[in-house]
Chain A
Amino acid sequence: MIPDLIEIVTLSLKVSGIALLFSALVGIPVGAVMGLKRFPGRRLIMVLLYTGMGFPPVVIGLLVYLLLSNSGPLRNLDLAFIPSLFTPGAMILAQAVISFPLVAGFTMAAVMGVNPELHTQIRALGASDRQTAWTILSEARLGVIVAIVAGFGSIISEVGAVMLVGGNIEHQTRVLTTAVVLETRKGNFDLAIALGAVLMSLTFIANLVMLRLQGRDTE
């Protein structure tokens, strides 16, 4: 029982952690550019990001399922880095897609929230365009951390997409949320509640770590 639980917790953290890393690596720069620059099509991208923030995860799971299925377009490409269905790789892909708009959208809002006059004053001190962008992003760090927290929260507790693309296979793709669903269906409520408590504790600890990262800004 305990080794199984450790395996499930480890896989949950691994899948959500890697997915969050990917979405942060892409989402933070995208959000920063969206917040800092004005260019044609920006409003359309903003609308798409905001839509993505409220998109049902299970629909994203369905889309990833169709993309990765044997007759799907990605499978036909036959590229090594494209994961197969019912693997942790497929779950990571689905979760990265779910959290990306949240990370990018919240980062964009945080950057846009920095006083535009500060851009001018930073440039007046001799900062290059890149240094100005970096400094603004650093000023918006509180919002960027919120973006990461929101992204993590959306995927660690997500069940529909991982169930679809992962299949909840024992010792392979079973994560905390899918295990809770399974144990509830089996009538093992004690175990389901225990798993749920572990999930909530993990989310709490993750948020505590993020709050610590925010440092004195939150005091």
Chain B
Amino acid sequence: MDEVIFRLRNLKKEYENRCVLHVDSLDIFSGEIFAIVGPSGAGKSTILRLMNFLEPPSEGKIIYHMHDFSAQHDIPIALRRRVTTVFQTSLLLNRSVWANIQFGLKIRSSQDSSQKIEDVLQRVGLSEFSQRRARTLSGGEAQRVALARAMVIQPEILLLDEPTTNLDPYNVSLIEDTVKELNNKNKTTIIIVTHNIFQAQRLAKRVALMLNGELVEVAEVQEFFQNPKDSRTEAFIRGEMVY
């Protein structure tokens, strides 16, 4: 197995004294696609926000490149910039598609951005849309722009928060193919949160089930779907309501 890139230890997140996330221990390995599945409100998006260092945990820590991210310690911006998220509903800047994709490179003062932007535009099939106003795009196109603006900065870890919810099959397939290609070619570590177990099955090497803010089971994808250890995992795979 590859080296561990993220270590989550006794991670807790509380909002108004209500615990919404409690993960005792979780390791994410470099270069893997890790899927977190679970029903709405299970804490899946919260864990991604912590992993992107967007808000600090209430307790515990995330260790990334030997730096602790906790309530007491922030992470250096250079490390924060190695991780990015594609959100369920991507909000684009009121600029052209090109400018939206360029944004991440600009804030990093990156040189020679044109070729990189053209490459990612081609990969998401939006080369002809580069000068279009981003806010005139359809939901699927906007989500592809969001994926392109995340890819162009070549993150070490890409977090995907329900990236294909409400999209048509064409856009779902295009996004999934791009994610797989990114993982294969660039060895980008990908953590995807989804309530679609079939998507997790198609993409991930390991899968975790999250319920009520806790990880119920973490296993290799085949093991998870064919031989689940926990009865709640079994029920979730069968499509039953689990709490």
Cβ of B91 and Cβ of A115 under 8 Å apart?
A: yes
Cβ of A124 and Cβ of B84 under 8 Å apart?
A: yes
With beta carbons under 8 angstroms apart, the residue of A122, A125, A139 that contacts B94 is A139
From A120, A123, A125, residue with most partner B Cβ within 10 Å: A125
Task: List, in ascending order, chain B residues with CB within 8 A of A122's CB.
Answer: 103
B83-106: CB near A (< 8 Å → 1, else 0) gives: 011010111011000000001100
Nearest A residue (CB) for B159: A124
Q: Does A216 contact B (CB under 8 A)?
A: yes
Given A115-B91, A139-B93, A139-B94: A125 touches B150 (CB 8 Å cut-off): yes
With beta carbons under 8 angstroms apart, the residue of A115, A120, A126, A216 that contacts B107 is A126
Q: How far is the CA of A47 from the CA of B79 in the complex (A)?
A: 41
Nearest B residue (CB) for A126: B81
Cβ of A127 and Cβ of B94 under 8 Å apart?
A: no
Cβ of B107 and Cβ of A121 under 8 Å apart?
A: no
Q: How far is the CA of A122 from the CA of B137 in the complex (A)?
A: 19
Task: List, in ascending order, chain A residues with CB within 8 A of B103's CB.
Answer: 122, 125, 135
Task: List, in ascending order, chain A residues with CB within 8 A of B90's CB.
Answer: 121
Task: List, in ascending order, chain A residues with CB within 8 A of B49's CB.
Answer: 120
Task: List, in ascending order, chain A residues with CB within 8 A of B133's CB.
Answer: 216
Q: How far is the CA of A128 from the CA of B107 in the complex (A)?
A: 8
Q: Does A78 contact B (CB under 8 A)?
A: no
Nearest A residue (CB) for B149: A125
From A115, A123, A138, A217, residue with most partner B Cβ within 10 Å: A123
Cβ of A126 and Cβ of B104 under 8 Å apart?
A: yes
A110-144: CB near B (< 8 Å → 1, else 0) gives: 00000101101111111110010001001100000
Count residues on chain A whose CB falls below 8 Å from chain B CBs: 18
Cβ of B54 and Cβ of A120 under 8 Å apart?
A: yes
Within the complex, the shortest CB–CB distance from B212 to chain A, in Å, comes to 24
With beta carbons under 8 angstroms apart, the residue of B85, B89, B91, B107 that contacts A127 is B107
Given A128-B107, A216-B133: A123 touches B91 (CB 8 Å cut-off): no
Task: List, in ascending order, chain A residues with CB within 8 A of B94's CB.
Answer: 139, 217
Cβ of B54 and Cβ of A126 under 8 Å apart?
A: no
Q: How far is the CA of A127 from the CA of B107 in the complex (A)?
A: 6
Q: How far is the CA of A115 from the CA of B94 in the complex (A)?
A: 12
Cβ of B84 and Cβ of A118 under 8 Å apart?
A: no
Cβ of A124 and Cβ of B52 under 8 Å apart?
A: yes
Cβ of A125 and Cβ of B54 under 8 Å apart?
A: no
Q: Does B241 contact A (CB under 8 A)?
A: no
Q: How far is the CA of A125 from the CA of B150 in the complex (A)?
A: 7
Q: How far is the CA of A3 from the CA of B81 in the complex (A)?
A: 61
Q: Does B66 contact A (CB under 8 A)?
A: no
Residues of B participating in the A interface, judged by any CB pair closer than 8 Å: 49, 52, 54, 77, 80-81, 84-85, 87, 89-91, 93-94, 103-104, 107-108, 133, 149-150, 153
Between A and B, 30 residue pairs with Cβ closer than 8 Å are A117-B87, A117-B89, A117-B91, A118-B91, A118-B93, A120-B49, A120-B54, A121-B85, A121-B87, A121-B91, A122-B103, A123-B54, A124-B52, A124-B85, A125-B84, A125-B104, A125-B107, A125-B150, A126-B77, A126-B81, A126-B104, A126-B107, A126-B108, A128-B77, A128-B107, A135-B93, A135-B103, A139-B93, A216-B133, A217-B94
Residues of A participating in the B interface, judged by any CB pair closer than 8 Å: 115, 117-118, 120-128, 131, 135, 138-139, 216-217
User: Which 4 A-B pairs give the minimum distances between C-beta atoms?
Assistant: A126-B81, A124-B85, A125-B104, A118-B91
